[in-house]
Amino acid sequence: MFSKPKKHSVSEAPPEIKEIYHRYSDEGGIMTASHLRSFLIEVQKEEKITEEETQAIIDHRDLNLESFFKFLFGDNNPPLLPSTEVHQDMSLPLSHYYIFTGHNSYLTGNQLSSDCSDAPIIEALQRGVRVIELDIWPNDSKDDVDVLHGMTLTTPVALIKCLLSIKEYAFVASEYPVVITLEDHLTPDLQAKVAQMVTQTFGDILFCPTSETLKEFPSPDSLKKRIIISTKPPKEFLEAKEEKEKEESQKGKPLGDEEAWGKEVPSLRGGTIADYKQNSGVDEDDLKEEEDSDEAEKARQNASDDYRCLIAIHAGKPKGGIVECLKVEPDKVRRLSLSESQLEKAAETYGKEIVRFTQQNILRVYPKGTRITSSNYNPLIGWMHGAQMVAFNMQGYGRSLWLMQGMFKANGGCGFVKKPDFLLQTGPNNEVFDPKAHLPSKTTLKVTVYMGEGWYYDFKHTHFDQFSSPDFYARVGIAGVPFDTVMKKTKSTDNSWLPSWNEVFEFPLSVPELALLRIEVHEYDMSEKDDFGGQTCLPVWELRNGIRAVPLHSREGDKYNNVKLLMRFEFI
């Protein structure tokens, strides 16, 4: 028979909560504001809370066990530091922060045939993403600029539409700057047109550097409510294009579409050099004529000047391989882009050099081109090497994206999270952090999973099982540096919409500054794949000690109305 709780049934306090209540209440079983303050100081580690604040929390009323339990499981007892408060130092250069970064931000689905639109850009900005990527190409008539994933069957969207949406939604979720990274496949006259579009659209909120190259990046504080453009300077773009064309003509390989054509992208249009020239409006004979014509060269330079002046964060790959790419120049900062595969390969030999590079410069990591379904990768590899822009397909829902969303719950959800000090420091002998080092444990996170509730109200009653209540279990673990990464699991409950586990897990952490607490709930299914019941990822360094109500989210990262867990966090 299908068993489920009555509509208004109330979950019962776990045994440990009852014990704590009796410990902090008077002989008559009543918890006064004074008792509650003692609990908040000793168990919840809220040392600075005053009696007046405590009285306000409980509305000047004493608590019985039921109301104390309701208080603990309520919305005003979240697991993280206040979610709307930026509390980190935001006056340091941009290179000192992890930045919430999107990849191919205009795609609605897969990388090869989905529609391009401003809708995913708007959604990303509403979620706090601070770096939007646009691939810009000539339109079919070669007189305007489209955004699309080149050499594929993705349907284009006009650049101006994307720019207008960025302007409207840039600072809805955060007042900190938005960076637009342009993957530029344009002729000089269209670059000039982009410069005009960008200038007219953003006006005074556009950040234009006073010199062509920056010695140090500005701070997020100094760039509040500003738009920043990052791309290759036009001259470097043309040189890289010509060099790549020369290489590809010798190898007979198809042309890619990212960062000097280094990205591994399957092509549905063949991707030959001739295709590219046809799509970009550049003919080989025209190029030769331009090269031979001083007037044409001068016109090209003039057309590019306005465009060049917009570029605040210069991108590009120096010639000479990874060693040259990672060279730190004393008076010039820049952005380097590597695919996830290129980063992993470079990290095998040059891990410390990558860390040194990212202390001043910006490293952007993007998904390898074979991720045609818009899946993602492990962001911790980039973060532990200091990469600021770990670019994700925001429509690629799954565990990797949950980690990304978890990281940027930190620092008030403003889209910028300060990198740990050890990634920014240089030792007395000019040494830097070694990502391969096996470090001793700094602390241990003790996690108690008491119980959960809310599925009865947020899911159809036949969602998990047609004829019985669900059999929930929780997965709890750490995503972090390799030595800290682990997942554990509770037992399954039997036929209950109000699962009670009361299980304890301990997680030794060597790098707690980069650890994310992973929490998932699933419903055990004997005959089919277990059903998903919610998830969240929480930055360990912002966890609040004590007993907390932990809201769960959908696969897409949207918070459920009622589903939450009661958990306890202790650092021992």
Q: What is the mean pLDDT of residues 307-315?
A: 92
How many Å is the Cα radius of gyration of the chain?
A: 27
Task: From residue 169, give the alpha-carbon distance in Å to each of 86, 132, 162, 324.
Answer: 20, 12, 11, 38
Q: Give percent above pLDDT 70 in the chain.
A: 85
The pLDDT of residue 467 is above 90: no
Other C-beta atoms lying within 10 Å of the C-beta of residue 51: 12
pLDDT band at 530 (very low <50, low <70, confident <90, very high): confident
Give the whole-angstrom CA distance, residue 123 versus residue 36. 41
Give the whole-angstrom CA distance, residue 325 versus residue 308. 21
Give the whole-angstrom CA distance, residue 146 versus residue 135. 8
Give me the pLDDT at residue 494, please. 83
Rounded mean pLDDT of the chain? 87
The model's pLDDT over 269-299, given as tens digits with 9 standing for 90+, comes to 334 334 433 444 444 334 334 444 566 566 6
Instruction: Kindly state the greatest CA–CA separation across the chain.
Output: 96
Give the whole-angstrom CA distance, residue 280 versus residue 530. 49
Asked if 322 and 329 count as a contact pair (C-beta separation under 8 A), the reply is no
Give me the pLDDT at residue 275, please. 42
User: CATH assignment of 94-421, given 3.40.50.970, 3.90.730.10, 3.20.20.190, 3.40.50.980?
Assistant: 3.20.20.190
Give me the pLDDT at residue 126, please. 97
The pLDDT of residue 477 is above 50: yes
Does 303 or 143 have the greater pLDDT score?
143
Judge whether 35 counts as a catalytic residue. Answer: no
Give me the pLDDT at residue 248, please. 63
Other C-beta atoms lying within 10 Å of the C-beta of residue 196: 12
- Residue at 116: amino acid letter: C
Give me the pLDDT at residue 266, please. 40
The model's pLDDT over 38-63, given as tens digits with 9 standing for 90+, comes to 999 999 999 989 988 888 887 778 89
State the DSSP code for 320.
Answer: S
Give me the pLDDT at residue 462, please. 73
The pLDDT of residue 324 is above 60: yes
DSSP result, 469-493: ---EEEEEEEESSTTT-EEEEPPPP
Q: What is the mean pLDDT of residues 435-462?
A: 92
3-state secondary structure of 264: coil
Give the whole-angstrom CA distance, residue 25 versus residue 163. 59
Give me the pLDDT at residue 253, please. 45
Q: Which fold has domain 438-572?
A: Immunoglobulin-like (2.60.40)
pTM score of the predicted model: 0.86
Alpha helix locations (H) across 326-429? 340-360, 379-384, 399-407
Give me the pLDDT at residue 56, please. 86
The model's pLDDT over 26-35, given as tens digits with 9 standing for 90+, comes to 888 889 889 9
Judge whether 103 counts as a catalytic residue. Answer: yes
User: What are the extents of the domains in the chain?
Assistant: 9-72, 94-421, 438-572
Report the relative pairing of strands 362-366 and 227-231 from DSSP bridges.
unpaired
Dihedral through CA 200, CA 201, CA 205, CA 211, nearest 10?
A: -50
3-state secondary structure of 507: strand
Q: What is the mean pLDDT of residues 498-527?
A: 93
Give me the pLDDT at residue 263, please. 38
The model's pLDDT over 184-224, given as tens digits with 9 standing for 90+, comes to 999 999 999 999 999 999 999 999 988 878 899 999 999 99
Nearest to 365 by CA among 150, 105, 102, 95: 102
Angle at 273 between CA 322 and CA 277, to 5 degrees: 115
Q: Give percent above pLDDT 90 in the chain.
A: 69
Candidates 35, 96, 103, 385; catalytic one: 103
Q: What's the number of CA atoms in the CB half-sphere (13 Å) around residue 209?
A: 20
Give me the pLDDT at residue 127, please. 96
Give me the pLDDT at residue 236, please. 54
Candidates 149, 185, 522, 553; catalytic one: 149
